[in-house]
Amino acid sequence: MNTISVYEYKDYKKFITDWIANGPHKGRGLRKQLAEAVGCQTAFITHVLGGDYHFSLEQAESCARWMGLNELDSEFLLLLVMHKRAGSKGLQKIFQKQISQKREEHSVLKKRVNISESLSLEDQSTYYSSWHYAAIHMALLNPALQSLDNLQKYFQLPTASLHSTLEFLTTRGFVKHEQGLYKVLKPVLHLEMSSPLILQHHTQWRLKSIEAIGTRRPENLHYSGVISLSEDDYEWVREKLSQLLKEAVERLQSSPDEKLACLNFDWFQV
């Protein structure tokens, strides 16, 4: 499966060229297949991808179908084509604005990882008031941590705090308590980016990451760096991180529950 994302690109020709090169046998024979799908000669494909020619919108749509792009990715590819074909700076600016909007929509976490479970506004203020609500919630996915005693040994939290957290998770239907064990019913929750609690949520876990840095555990990974780079490469890194996050979430959905970890992604302009 070709994993190259169209959202990494500002030039549709570069996207198609890289997509072909990333194909089986380094793309051998794919230009001929593309020509057949578009309804032209292979030489025309070469003139488009390596020269000043452009696909028509009809040809671009055929190309998107041949590549197996979904509806949203196809629309983005067509926008890139329209941007390149625009005959004035004013028209280019219009298409560029649409491209930026589409790229921003694509990078929204909830759409990328298909998270559907959300907390009510009333319960958000409790769940995100402290890091240990989410931590205990996720820890209960691990069979080794589903008893009260094991949770107490693992987190070293005051007994009252642990009890109140478990009571909240249980009464809200996120976990259930039976035969002395707490088991998760709803494992995935989502806090909207527009929520006034989002700052608190991110801050709490970044403070926990600072604590983790202090432990100097060799299995942990920490990196901080300030980088000067081009606008294109800034978008490229953002898309790469978004794609990695999507792949990680999809993989971890079926991952055995053995360790409790925290992932903080930070990529921003200074």
Q: What is the CATH number of the domain that holds 91?
A: 1.10.260
Other CB atoms within 10 Å distance of the CB of residue 209: 16
Is 41's pLDDT higher than 90? yes
Query: Both 135 and 266 in a single domain?
Result: yes
Q: What is the pLDDT of residue 108?
A: 66
Are 22 and 6 in contact by the 8 Å Cβ rule? The answer is no
- Cα distance between residue 80 and residue 228, in whole Å: 26
Query: Both 36 and 170 in a single domain?
Result: no
Domain boundary among 68, 84, 107: 107
Q: What is the pLDDT of residue 262?
A: 85
- Cα distance between residue 203 and residue 226, in whole Å: 20
Query: Both 151 and 256 in a single domain?
Result: yes
Q: What is the pLDDT of residue 79?
A: 96
Query: Both 129 and 95 in a single domain?
Result: no
More confident of the two residues 105 and 145: 145
Q: Has residue 1 been placed in a domain?
A: no
Q: Has residue 46 been placed in a domain?
A: yes
Q: Has residue 151 been placed in a domain?
A: yes
Domain boundary among 65, 80, 107: 107
Can you tell me the mean pLDDT for 218-245?
85
Least trusted range by pLDDT, from 48-57, 154-163, 249-258: 249-258
Q: What is the pLDDT of residue 136?
A: 93
Query: Both 82 and 136 in a single domain?
Result: no
Q: What is the pLDDT of residue 23?
A: 84
Q: How many domains does the chain have?
A: 2
More confident of the two residues 267 and 112: 267
Q: CA angle, 191 as apex, 185 and 192 as ends, to 5°?
A: 140
Q: What is the pLDDT of residue 267?
A: 79
Query: Both 76 and 128 in a single domain?
Result: no
Q: Has residue 11 been placed in a domain?
A: yes
Q: What is the pLDDT of residue 249?
A: 81
In the chain, % of residues over pLDDT 70: 92
Query: pLDDT digit string (tens) for 148-201?
Result: 999 999 998 888 889 999 999 999 888 999 988 999 988 877 777 667 778 888
Q: What is the pLDDT of residue 212?
A: 86
Query: Both 68 and 157 in a single domain?
Result: no
Query: Both 85 and 122 in a single domain?
Result: no
Query: pLDDT digit string (tens) for 73-98?
Result: 999 999 999 999 999 999 999 999 99
Query: Both 103 and 125 in a single domain?
Result: no
Q: What is the pLDDT of residue 45?
A: 95
Q: CA angle, 56 as apex, 46 and 80 as ends, to 5°?
A: 85
Q: Has residue 128 been placed in a domain?
A: yes
Query: Both 223 and 123 in a single domain?
Result: yes
Q: Has residue 120 been placed in a domain?
A: yes
- Cα distance between residue 221 and residue 206, in whole Å: 14
Residue labelled with tokens 């196809």: 74
Query: Both 67 and 138 in a single domain?
Result: no
Q: Has residue 245 been placed in a domain?
A: yes
Q: Has residue 143 been placed in a domain?
A: yes
Question: Which domain covers residue 79, as residue numbers?
Answer: 6-107
Query: Both 151 and 258 in a single domain?
Result: yes
Is 137's pLDDT higher than 80? yes
Domain boundary among 107, 135, 167: 107
